[in-house]
Structure 1
């Protein structure tokens, strides 16, 4: 039993809880700095040439589970340790403090009152009348009273003792929600061009929801930089099922539906429609070219029937222009979507249009209700913790010229202010 109490004391130590919070905060910062839940090849490609912080290569990042910190065994272990620490702290410290605040203490002699933090003694020719007046005054101000013969005890703000326990409980609920979301949640990012659909399947492989993108636009500033992305969506029940909802999403304005949240996360260029000479319009897929710069898309297009003499078409937004490069990397020409054809290597090439794609992030997090509930409980507890718990005792002694009224009290917050208020209370009786 002593060993258990010693272990419980160590786990519930405030310094340990603060240390755990610091470690969790640092780990969360690392999770922000390192991209999460990417493929193993991604981390090797990113960190093998240039190790993270000059120390960790791709293998190190994967070995320490830094590629999925929030669902890693060690991070969930830290959350469990902190939750246990908070629960034990509430059990060993906050619960006894609440029980003590709810327990009435009956001081019977003036000598006992004189030992309290705040104590006053004033002459009173009629101590019992003064006691009654003080009792009525305190009751009008919301104090609870327990009356005895020639004395009474009063208290106010007992709910303030519940506050720390609610804060601890809220943090535990919040951590449970975060852990549940990390283990049971789903996250996927898809690029969909207008007219395309995405079929979400349930655990049995059956169609759960179909997302159709009817329109997508990029709003740009005068310098051509993207400011906002907007998608027009339709949600369907199955491929040929009824329409469930029409909605518009944009950055910072997601859509929540049946436990799934759809975020407007990114954009891309999906395809380019070109005409080669007198050919029909050809819609060709675009692919990113990170070696040419950030957010550069393009395709290699042959200019001869046998596939020889290729050129590279590249662009960085749907409005163009489309740069045309030769095999030697020299800029041959620029094409404007919707403009006239330009002859390149003897072949007239015209760009009809460029099709942008909406980058939609789908998240399903079953722990969100617990996270919000944890926040609400913790905030409520924090607000209650601001309430000062006050206790006051009064004893009447003697009669006539030798009568005395003894008043003393305790307060767990702002004792100085309580010490100033006590003489003012006594002065009113």
Structure 2
């Protein structure tokens, strides 16, 4: 059986297992076991133990439960409501109103966490219950959160960017700089869609109950933003100042949220206990999915499916824009079965010579891959953000996938835009290189 045929078989197995209602982590692991047992000579049991251990024994991954706990604390105290009170007067005249909070909050928090899952969970814990309580439709609140949650890996610092920079041997600083303007572009596209949807569906947007507000009243209401902004600035500052890694900054965030909740008088023993239990349940679910995904990734690597896809693309010998189109399809297909880091690690060494041959800038290509990984995060059946929001909201993953479809299309549009106008990606890295060569900051 050919390698690509094996990939088709494993995809069918995954769909069948998940359709039968198996837990997501079990579904991924079962698919990996089938691939390992029937299509390789490796031991399924031994590799299962290795993959599970390696997937969770990570210092960087320790940031995830800490950010989840931070979100639980904010969710169970009145800090989330304060954020909405502060933003509402400024957004009331924009079609879609408070739905834009998901985009803005994820964009800000994404610059802190570097993880789509952590961004979606932390912001979701604050915004989804509030939007539901205020009457906003679930499909828009979950869809905008699913799309905006992926900003965690596009807006620097980002673990995915570091992985690509190391694999492609390009400057990490240049990759980080390249992500800022595309991140802003994606936020504008998401908010633009929300505005268009609100104009076409005015009856689904809750009425504005604030009445007319003066600039002074808006500024007075914005004082409610101070606690959350202080917390975000704390987490950013300890990273930028070099006092903490992203994982240590997550601990600062959790402690800071506890202090702010206590200072605001909304922290009780019951809230503290429930936040710990909620963070434990959600973190265990995420870790379980990660373990299953790691085992499936290992099985995919043993079967040679990612390498076979990359070699097939090389055999086609496409032009620059044909190559971009083919790679887009290839990475979206890989995203249905692999996590983002694995996609990059398993394909970069094969793909890089191809892009260099047709004259594609490796820094631009890094952002291109990150956008494709963002798409993979909201692509069933293995869209990781979909799994996280499914568990958090109680909706099934297909409902969340359908809700996120418009934002999936916005990400595709973002890829088209940076392909037509590559300077959106390369202008900041180029300015940095020019400044460095001129004897500026190094």
Same-fold call, TM cutoff 0.5: no
Larger proportion of strand: 1
TM-score tier after normalising by the smaller chain length: under 0.3
Q: If the length of structure 1 is used for normalisation, what is the TM-score?
A: 0.24
Larger proportion of helix: 2
Work out which structure has the larger RCO, using CA pairs closer than 8 Å and 6 or more positions apart in sequence: 2
Larger radius of gyration: 1
